Structure 1
Amino acid sequence: MQTQPDAVSEKEFRVKSTTPPPELGSAIAHAIKADYQVVLKAVGAGAINQAVKSIPIAQSFVSSFGTNLTEEITFFRSKSPEGELLGIAIRVMGS
């Protein structure tokens, strides 16, 4: 008999170019500590920059608990009134 893997809970954060990396890093760390996977979604260079900067900040928060972060980066498409947008999705997982 096969068992189904447990469903993984995830939190999604939509990152803007004005998102403060320390605040986002703290939110990522809190979610990881609560056993969530985090997905950061960003469209545009400024937003991607803020998302990437937040990850080492989150790592500094969770390292005191013996947790290491791993990331998986993919593309996503989204529709907007201006048309279709292509963005970056960064999945952050604790291990």
Structure 2
Amino acid sequence: MDILRVSANSSPNSVAGAIASIVRSCGQTEVQSVGAGATNQAVKSIAVARGYLAAVGLDLVCFPEFSTVEINGEERTAMRFVCFVLSEE
């Protein structure tokens, strides 16, 4: 599964396009963020991607969960959003 890493400086529209593209081709993706700003951008990106996919009859579903990642030798808590298409209309 492809993992998209989102930062506080990520453009929601660009990330949304990447989410929609990966979900169309692979059926699912994972969006990962560390920190409040990055998580905010990730959630906005998922909302925009849902709109992109709804326009072509796909229903994007997302499950949030906590994850632990290592950054510069330090363990950090990350948000992981598993996104996939629920059904075709």
Structure with the higher fraction of residues in strand conformation? 2
RMSD after superposition: 1.1
Divergent runs of 4+, >6 A: none
Q: Provide, for residues 31-90 of structure 1, a one-character-per-residue CA deviation record: whole Å limited to 9, x for no partner.
A: 111133110110000000000000111011111221111111111111223621001000
TM-score after normalising by structure 2: 0.90
Q: Which of the pair has more CA radius of gyration?
A: 1
Residue 54 (structure 1) aligns with:
45
Count the aligned residue pairs. 86
Structure 2 unmatched ranges of 5 or more: none
Identity %: 28
Residue 10 (structure 2) aligns with:
19
Structure 1 unmatched ranges of 5 or more: 1-9
Give the whole-Å Cα distance in 1 for the aligned partners of 2:82 and 2:2: 10
